[in-house]
Amino acid sequence: MDEVRRQEYKRVNEKERKYIKGQRYTLLSHKASLDIDGRRSLKLLLKANKRLHKAYLLKESFGQLWNYSYPASAKKFFENWQTQLRWQRLRPFEEFAAMIKKHWDGLVSYCQPDNKVSLGFMEGLNNKIRVIQRRAYGIRNDEYLRLKVLTSFIKDA
């Protein structure tokens, strides 16, 4: 989304740039989390620039992917989302869609309820791994690092 904003800023004339300038976080935020002023400026910006409007709608609609419980439903949604993208000439979104396609197996596994893990747990896990990496500075054996990470989660008896 931010790349589209930058491209539009470079593309439009000086008069239209005033609508885009300073609206980075307004465009990156979800509409529901914006305050009154944010919503007002978003409405004005999207009214002034059609390409940003299309990009914003695509960004907002993509968030629905994480609500699916069945991989087939998620795949159907993503294919429909890609179809909407086809004629928009939004290169950053096309690159994003290609990346999603490349990593689809990992993303679709999130749809299964058993695989949903809290972000707090993942942050804690990543932090613990970083600490182990810092302690193991200079060790070049990846298998040894993997074993250190695995043994750090074994509970003492």
The pLDDT value recorded for residue 76 is 92
Percent helix / strand / coil, the chain, rounded to 5 = 75, 0, 25
Number of DSSP helices (H) and strands (E) in the chain, helices first: 10, 0
- The pLDDT tens digits of the residues spanning 14-67 come to 777 776 777 777 777 777 777 888 788 877 777 777 777 888 888 888 888 888
Q: How far apart are CA 86 and CA 93, in angstroms?
A: 10
- Structure-block tokens of residue 68: 């699916």
pTM above 0.85, yes or no: no
Q: How do the domains of the chain map onto residue ranges? A: 2-115, 119-152
